[in-house]
Chain A
Amino acid sequence: MWDLLEAPEGRTLSVSELVARLRTALVDEFGALWIEGEIASLHRSRAGHVYFDLKDPDAQLRAVIFRRSAVELPFQPQEGMQVLAHARLDVYPERGLLQLIVEELKPRGEGALRLAFEQLKVRLAAEGLFDPEHKKPLPFMPRCIGLVTSRQGAAIHDFLRGLRQRFAASEVLLYDARVQGEGAWREVVRGLHLLDTRPGVDVIVVARGGGSIEDLWTFNREELVRAIFELGTPVISAIGHEVDVVLTDLVADARAATPTTAAELVVPDAAALLRQIHDFERQLVRRQRTRLQILWHQLDGLGRGLVHPAQRLAELERRLEHARVRLANAVARERERATTRLGHLAQRLGRAVRRLQEKREAGLLTLRGTLDALSPLAVLGRGYGIARRESDGAILRASRQVSSGDAIHLRLSRGALRAAVTETLEE
């Protein structure tokens, strides 16, 4: 039988004491640790904490991510997801439960990474980070090409080879960054920021050779994706092989399937450009030749229209002679016409004069009759005489016109008398 009153040997602990000692022991023994497992029985509390079981085939542990850490997670943990948790062990005193307090969680393995990738892609896409309207145009011919990649990797050789084949006269400014592993994204972001502000860098290529999704995970880092989104310089993402798609491919201004083909996006094809330039040159020469031929032709035509001065002079002389002849003819004709007219006029004048004379003679006859009637001579016929001073022929109308002894002429109706004044008598 058991003696219910007998005290046990050794010290007795309260539950709280034991739990407290357990917690101390756990912290001392384990501290913070990385633990890998699969997520099961996940649920979120209304307060924002995430509770789940972390398990492997043989064991499981209760785990919690408090809200403060949960909001920092780059992806949403899901049941069945393989994860790596950064956690510390603790005992939940009220229920005596051993649990993991998870501070940080990383997807583990391809499945989990794919899931995390899809989640992040959806979230960033919803924010508009991949929208086409944010894509910056690539330069036609960059003055300098910024390149972020590892000098140790294969990508740099592939890219430079492509560049040399397509456009050898290129200028490259390299930022040597780790492209894989913990913290590699920080180096890539640093390179992007440095190159972004370098004068002459017109485009930046981020390159890395192919690899597993874990190898390429750097280029799915949200921080790197956001850095590319915010960069002023156009960015070309040339990560992995054709089938590998990473988030930098989606956010970049252009995506190259491989580092080798990136050159096609970065620089124009020098050979094609040279062909185009030579084509321009041929056209220039051909058009100019045609143009000159046309001008030459026109000049030739104009030349035919031109006349030598001597020829022109002869022509002028000929025209002058012609004019002179015409003038002479005209003058002769005019003279003839004038002569004729003069003749006519003379005839008409003669006729007119004759008519006038005839008329006058006729008039005169009439006039003579009239005159005869009025003539002093007719009066003389009636017995009057006209006395004139012999000296000047003045007709005497008064006796004092003459003196005694003056010779006078006395016209009678028939004949005349010369007489001397013997005496003058007053009236």
Chain B
Amino acid sequence: MGEREELDFEGAMSRLEALVGSLEAGDLSLEDSLRTFEEGIRLVRLCSERLKSAELRIRQLEEGAEGVTERTLDVQEEE
């Protein structure tokens, strides 16, 4: 499993929504609003990247003499 699994996407989306909400409320100090804005933009970038990586990865579980193993499948092989 690659690093792309580390992002809690749903959590990031909720956080993003909350950040927009708190900016909207407008009761943040200038410093806090800048921090909120920067965090929001960072999350936007992270989430977009996660969605845009267009590669579908397929592996197959196999049971053999050496137990259960995983083998990467060529996607074209399956299409």
Interface of A toward B, CB cutoff 8 Å: 140-141, 143-144, 151, 156-157, 160-161, 163-164, 167-176, 190-191, 194-195, 198-200, 270, 273-274, 276-278, 280-281, 283-284, 287-288, 290-291, 294-295
Contacts and interface: CB of A to CB of B under 8 A. Distances in A.
A157 B60 contact: no
Taking each of A161, A169, A199, A284, which has the highest tally of chain B beta carbons within 10 Å of its own beta carbon? A284
16 contacts: A160-B56, A160-B78, A160-B79, A167-B51, A168-B55, A171-B59, A172-B57, A172-B58, A173-B61, A173-B70, A174-B58, A174-B60, A190-B63, A194-B61, A199-B1, A277-B16
Contacts of A140: 9-10
Contacts of B48: 274, 277-278
A116 B55 CA distance: 44
B78 A277 contact: no
Contacts of B26: 287, 290-291, 294
A174 B33 contact: no
Interface SS of chain B: helix
B68 to A, nearest CB: 6
A190 B62 CA distance: 11
B56 A195 contact: no
Interface string B8-22: 011001001101100
A219 to B, nearest CB: 20
Contact of B33 (A273, A280, A291): A291
B54 A168 contact: yes
A169 B50 contact: yes
Contacts of B55: 168-169
Nearest to B51: A270
Taking each of A164, A171, A294, which has the highest tally of chain B beta carbons within 10 Å of its own beta carbon? A171
Given A160-B78, A200-B5, A277 B44 contact: yes
A174 B63 CA distance: 12
A284 B51 contact: no
A281 B1 CA distance: 29
Q: A-B pairs with the 6 shortest C-beta distances? A: A140-B10, A287-B23, A143-B5, A284-B40, A168-B54, A288-B37
A277 B44 CA distance: 6
Contacts of B44: 277-278, 280-281, 284
Given A169-B55, A284-B40, A198 B33 contact: no
Given A140-B10, A171-B57, A200-B5, 19 more contacts: A141-B10, A144-B1, A157-B78, A160-B58, A167-B51, A168-B54, A169-B51, A171-B1, A199-B1, A273-B51, A274-B48, A274-B52, A276-B13, A280-B44, A281-B40, A284-B40, A284-B41, A291-B30, A294-B26
B17 A280 contact: yes
Contact of B20 (A173, A270, A280): A280
Nearest to A175: B61
Interface of B: 1, 4-5, 9-10, 13, 16-17, 19-20, 23-24, 26, 28, 30, 33-34, 37, 40-41, 44, 47-48, 50-61, 63, 68, 70, 73, 75, 78-79
Contacts of A173: 58-61, 70
B9 A174 contact: no
A171 B60 CA distance: 11
B60 A200 contact: no
A284 B47 contact: no
Taking each of B9, B52, B58, B61, which has the highest tally of chain A beta carbons within 10 Å of its own beta carbon? B61
A271 to B, nearest CB: 8
B49 to A, nearest CB: 10
A194 B41 contact: no
B63 to A, nearest CB: 8
A399 to B, nearest CB: 118
Nearest to B30: A295
A157 B73 CA distance: 13
B23 to A, nearest CB: 4
A406 B13 CA distance: 140
A91 B17 CA distance: 79
A156 B78 contact: yes
Nearest to A294: B26
